[in-house]
Structure 1
Amino acid sequence: MSPIIENSKKSVNTLLLVSTLVATVTFAADFTVPGGYNISGTDSGIATMLRGKGFHIFVICDSIAMYSSIIAAVALIWAQLGDVTLFLDAFNLAVPFLGIALSMMSMTFTAGLFLAVSKLRWLSTAVLVMGITFFAMLSVILIPLCIPVTPSNRIYRYISYYPFYLIILATGN
């Protein structure tokens, strides 16, 4: 087995675990939708918030997270077969899809929580602001990992470095 693959096997296994957990969480969210299900009448078994725009966002983001995490998991399984070229191609495919899955999972959480507290305007606004802020910070961290650009590109380095550095300073770590 190649030294590149030997050294990266732990990373692949960790990413495979994360993608499997994302798939599991998003799968569970499909069956525990915000507001629950209608239990009687002609709409029995249908989500109670089916017509709401927030629910549509919840379902779309959850679906994207589920499918992206499955693609990442399958690509990471291919990465474990031992061929260096296949490993690099599978890894380069999996990382962006896992980034999309994590981003969409956070948006699913925000949409679901927003729906759950939507009757209290100040709390739903606070949830939305926190979710958007977190999503922006997550994007700053994930986008440089998902876009294959050479480190010699000076402009890209500055664009990706300073927002990440500001987040580190803001959190005090």
Structure 2
Amino acid sequence: MRDEHHKGKTFWNLFMENHKTLLKNAEKWVKDTTNSCMIVSTLIATVLFAAVFTVPGGNDDKTGFPLLLGKDSLLVFTISNALGLFSSMTAILLFLAIITSRYEAQDFLYSLPKKIITGLGFLFLSLAFMLVAFSATLTIVLDKRVEWVLIPITLLASLPVALFVVLQLPLLLQMFRSTYGQSIFSAEDIWSEA
């Protein structure tokens, strides 16, 4: 038996009428999460950008080239620093796209979760690359002076990456499952009349 209130409305429209507060809460959560991630990405980008101009070991006064140009550690530092900077800039652009989104109900089904998943992925990569650059710099600075310190400090440097994975992985998995897995919203009949 069909209710007159439901006549002519799709299941989607009925769902949206009954869950307006859900949409507002979701918008607030997405904005808060995005703003926090944007701050972290910006800080990482700032640090990695500044690190390019303060090359470990210094530069030759006459030529301006790095003094340790042939060392593997400097190459690892340079590559990881560049990849970290590009990753954090990509994360910033993704989070900016989320902040400037329309926040329509349909955006919460695919568009926003995809951007958040990708943004968190690039944020993770930028954090990991930043710590690799840090470890490479440490290797250059401590070069054969205090070799025994390198392993414990490198292990400690990997702690933030592991912590990020432990803390953010459940959120990523849940978002991945709800975005790419089975969904009650993927049925075609939700767009038909009730």
Task: State the Cα deviation string for residues 97-127 of structure 1 (Å, max 9, x = none).
Answer: 101111111111111122012140xx23313
Pairing 1:77-116 to 2, within 5 Å after superposition? 77-80=96-99, 81-83=101-103, 84=107, 85-116=110-141
Deviates more, 1:18-27 or 1:79-88: 79-88
Partner of 2:41: 19
Task: State the structure with more CA Rg.
Answer: 2
| Distance across 2 between alignment mates of 1:128 and 1:49 | 22
Selected match of 2:86 from 56, 62, 67: 67
Selected match of 1:32 from 54, 59, 65: 54
Kindly state the Cα deviation for residue 146 of structure 1 after the two structures are TM-superposed. Answer: 5.2
| Distance across 1 between alignment mates of 2:61 and 2:40 | 35
Partner of 1:51: 70
The RMSD of aligned alpha carbons is 2.4
Task: State the Cα deviation string for residues 129-166 of structure 1 (Å, max 9, x = none).
Answer: 3213431x344333353584359x9xxxxxxxxxxxxx
Selected match of 1:134 from 144, 147, 157: 157
In the alignment, does 2:165 pair up with 1:143? yes
Please list every run of 5 or more consecutive structure 1 residues that lacks an aligned counterpart in the other structure: 154-173
Per chain length, whose mean CA-contact separation is higher, i.e. which structure has more relative contact order (CA < 8 Å, sep 6+)? 2
Please list every run of 5 or more consecutive structure 2 residues that lacks an aligned counterpart in the other structure: 1-19, 178-194
| Distance across 2 between alignment mates of 1:57 and 1:128 | 17
Kept in 2: contact 1:78–1:87 (CA 8 A)? no
Kept in 2: contact 1:15–1:76 (CA 8 A)? yes
Task: State the Cα deviation string for residues 31-74 of structure 1 (Å, max 9, x = none).
Answer: 0010111112xxx0111111001111111111111010001000
Query: Given residue 85 of structure 2, which amino acid in structure 1 is its aligned partner?
Result: M
Query: Could you tell me the TM-score, scaled by structure 1's length?
Result: 0.75
| Distance across 2 between alignment mates of 1:150 and 1:28 | 36
- Matched residues, number: 146
| Distance across 1 between alignment mates of 2:161 and 2:34 | 22
Using a 3 Å threshold, how does the CA distance of structure 1 residues 146 and 101 change in structure 2: closer, same or farther? Answer: farther
SS at match of 1:149: helix
